[in-house]
Chain A
Amino acid sequence: MNGRFLTIAGRIWLGAILVFLYAPILIMALMSFNASPFYQLPFEFSTRWYQALGANAEIREAALRSVLIALVTTTIATVLGTAASIALFRYEFPGKQALRILLFPPIAIPWLITGTAMLIFFFGIGMGRGTPAVIIGHVALALPYVIVVVSARLATFDATLEDAARALGAGPWMVTRRVTLPWIAPGIIAGALFAFAVSFDQFVVSYFLSEPGDATLPVLIYTAIRKGFTPEINAVSTIIIVVSMLVMLIAARYSKFGGER
């Protein structure tokens, strides 16, 4: 009885949090159907912002570019970050603690300062701007998140499992692939999702490092808040959320990444 009560209370709690997490998303979507350009209430249904979006090639291209950059960033950051996390977990070596501490400056120092630093440094070494520079910056900002998240999962990993596999004659790659990676898979997935979020929402670095005319969606939004922050931006955000939700639900349907058990 008591256990059952707790279970129900737990589900209600989870439900309440989902409501909290989605409340502004829902508002964002609703406002994309509201006629007022100043987000004025009362609500008046209109699809004018979606029509405007259809005619706005710039914003559509920017959205597509952002998705592509985020996908590339996620792939690179997840692979490199997971490798580094495994190394930090598996081996003891001098300077290990320092390497862990080094993950914090990119998180602690406001992105504006890091972005400015990248801009002058890339300018100084003659690399200049452009999509490669943007991706280099995004990966670097996403890496610490991946390493921290994957390491958090690795901390729960029983290292003797690796020893046991080794004792049974498995090589290091085999140990990693058959023992370590399956265990930390949820951590890798979470790390990848965070990396995507970091890149997809990152405007400072993109803003400083992208070529004119090659803006990403956050850059468009950031520059638009000065003047023309119209519900068109809500419309494109709504489309992105709906599409991501579909992709994710399909992924959830066909794979198992929340961890065994």
Chain B
Amino acid sequence: MTRTMFHATAMALAVAGSTAGADEIRVLNWQGYGTDADWAVAAFTQATGHTVVHEYFNSEQEMLTKLRTNPGAYDVVLINAAFTPQAQAEGLIGPIDTAKIANLADVPADLTGNADLNAGGALHGVPWTWGLTSFAVNTTAFDTLPTSIEVFWDPAHAGKVSIRDDALEAIQFAAIATGQDINDIADLDAVRDKLAALMPQIRTYWGSENDWNQFMAAGDLDVATFWSGSASRSMESGLPVQFIVPEEGAIGWLDGLSIPASSTRTDAAHAFIDWMIDPEFYVRWAAEGAPASANAKAAAALPEDAFNKRVLGDPEVVARVQFQRPVPDETREAYLALWQELKAAQ
């Protein structure tokens, strides 16, 4: 009798424990961008009991649309810091409870204090990863690796050049090539001329990491703009490419993890974000090819020859980086009009 009672109580406790603590959280992110790694999700579920379901977006605009039209559907969302103020202003994301994210203590103050992530006067996005938009070259096409962005305009590589089909990225790239501030382009005509001169060099635009890898693998390209995290993955998978941060500089970006204001499972969401900036998670992710971690301890834990330590860990390189700030809608539309005009002329 007592034994049965004991069993029943124990079982009830166990059931209560698992239901009270176990939530299914929904994460909105780019596909294959860290949060959805099988092993990472499995480890999180094992440690906390929470399960994770992913949904993906293919552009920042789409991510914002999904947040707007599906309140309550998501618990964690990846937002580029340049978009965080907009998401915050629209009331799409809520403030982060920093007390619930232990690993935040290891994130340097310049990142936790980032003005964009602290839109609205409180932290709305946990600094997660950062990286560069620069370019990579096919090492079989070069005897000595280029050090200048001017390689894109080199007639020797005509028809073997590619940039991403993205107005903002194209224009900021040309801003760097013309020695301007990417966040405050004073001479847009110079940018237009620089891009117009680039157009005949271009073989095709690329749209995704997948495109990029296939074009490189097929030998269609010598040099193309690329993201640092993606470049480390491509090198990892054996493509003969090398990521370059030219003397003119590169575009930097910072990705944060945010919690939608409409989320009802914020405890689990905070726990997941905490795991995402954990050094243990990062070291394993970096081995598969990842951008740089915002967590100083995680970055330090990388092996010496790791891409992110070798390239992005160099203060000389970091000094040349211009970090992306939010872009007002009108500017974005003006850039798009310019980019479309250039593309339509082809």
Contacts and interface: CB of A to CB of B under 8 A. Distances in A.
Direct A–B contact present (CB less than 8 angstroms): yes
Interface of A: 36-40, 116, 119-120, 123, 128-129, 212-213, 222-229
B160 interface: no
B70 A123 contact: yes
Given A120-B69, A129-B70, A212 B54 contact: yes
B34 to A, nearest CB: 11
A122 B62 CA distance: 17
A116 B61 CA distance: 12
B84 interface: no
B25 to A, nearest CB: 11
Interface string B195-219: 0000000000001111101101110
Contacts, number: 60
B339 interface: no
B237 interface: yes
B56 A37 contact: no
Given A225-B210, A227-B208, A227-B209, A119 B69 contact: yes
Nearest first, the 5 closest Cβ-Cβ pairs linking A and B are A212-B55, A38-B217, A227-B32, A226-B208, A229-B210
Q: Is the interface of A mostly helix, strand, loop or mixed?
A: loop
Nearest to B234: A38
Given A37-B237, A38-B217, A40-B217, A226 B53 contact: no
Contacts of B239: 38
Given A36-B217, A38-B214, A39-B214, A228 B31 contact: yes
A148 B53 CA distance: 40
Contact of A223 (B58, B70, B214, B216): B58
Contacts of B55: 212-213
Interface in B45-60: 53-56, 58
Interface in B260-314: none
Interface in B80-123: none
Contact of B31 (A37, A38, A39, A223): A223
Contact of A224 (B65, B210, B217, B237): B210
A39 B220 CA distance: 13
A226 B209 CA distance: 6
Nearest to B237: A37
Given A39-B214, A212-B54, A226 B30 contact: yes
Given A40-B217, A223-B56, A223-B58, 8 more contacts: A119-B69, A128-B70, A129-B73, A223-B31, A224-B210, A225-B208, A227-B33, A229-B210
A227 B218 contact: no
